[in-house]
Amino acid sequence: MIEMQDVWKAYPNGTQALRGISVHIQKGDFVYVVGPSGAGKSTFIKLMYREVRPTSGHIFVNGFNIERLKDRKIPLLRRSIGVIFQDFKLLPKMTAAENVAFALEVLGLSHRQIRRRVEDVLEQVGLGDKANMLPTQLSGGEQQRVAIARSLANNPSVIIADEPTGNLDPDTSWGIVRLFQRINDLGTTIVMATHNRDIVNSMRRRVIAVENGTIVRDEQRGLYGYDE
Ligand SMILES: Nc1ncnc2c1ncn2[C@@H]1O[C@H](COP(=O)(O)OP(=O)(O)OP(=O)(O)O)[C@@H](O)[C@H]1O
């Protein structure tokens, strides 16, 4: 599903962000990526959806060979992945339903099919009654749920989330994590970079710890493991 073999990444300014990452993430895994600020977590995650390209090494995601992938094939890769950000990245002038529908419009579905899919995924994230709200009319947690609904719309096999609870209070963060857990229970792989110690320590899922551009720990029922 996600395979990295000896992946290195140096940014153009010379910063060596990753130094020899090898990892295998299977279908249905739930993985927390932890580590100090600047360790390379975001870079690790961005490689998976070809937001950044590796300097060397091999990466395979959902059957796509990331180094060889032609630019025109990137949308195909990204349709098989849902990506969630700390700042939600919703389109501000569109309602919740329109934000979700927008992700589906490139697929050539009928209006009716789009409407049904939008209703389904908004229902799935508990926002069936807020479909016509603009992002500014929603709480942070609700906005993140819209982003998750949008990511679910294409029925991705993996959801990659970079610090998805970073802007949310603890209770709301737990709501988002429980939602990820339900999505994972249905078979979708989840990869989530986080600084949230309580969540990682309570959930006891796979933990990949990154420090100074390398994986220093990879445990099936791991703990957060840092004092900050
Ligand atoms: N576009 C870029 N150009 C140059 N250096 C970068 C770029 N993006 C990240 N870096 C550097 O690469 C290293 C790893 O950054 P990265 O964002 O992957 O870390 P992180 O573990 O996600 O950190 P945080 O927890 O603070 O988000 C850092 O030294 C950072 O300054």
To test the pocket of ligand 1, the residue of 43, 162, 191 to mutate (highest count of ligand atoms within 8 Å of its CB) is 43
Token digits of residue 56: 């060397």
To test the pocket of ligand 1, the residue of 33, 37, 42 to mutate (highest count of ligand atoms within 8 Å of its CB) is 42
Nearest atom within ligand 1 for CA of residue 40: 18
Assembly ipTM: 0.97
Biggest CA–CA distance in the chain, Å, is 52
Three-state secondary structure call for residue 75: helix
Would you say the CB of residue 54 lies under 6 angstroms from ligand 1? Answer: no
To test the pocket of ligand 1, the residue of 8, 9, 13, 41 to mutate (highest count of ligand atoms within 8 Å of its CB) is 41
Instruction: Give the type of residue at 57.
Output: G
Q: In which residue are the tokens 């703990």 written?
A: 223
Cβ proximity of 90 and 122 under 8 Å = no
Question: pTM (2 decimals)?
Answer: 0.96
Q: What is the pLDDT along the chain (228 residues), one digit of tens a residue?
A: 999 999 999 999 999 999 999 999 999 999 999 999 999 999 999 999 999 999 999 999 999 999 999 999 999 999 999 999 999 999 999 999 999 999 898 788 899 999 999 999 999 999 999 999 999 999 999 999 999 999 999 999 999 999 999 999 999 999 999 999 999 999 999 999 999 999 999 999 999 999 999 999 999 999 999 876
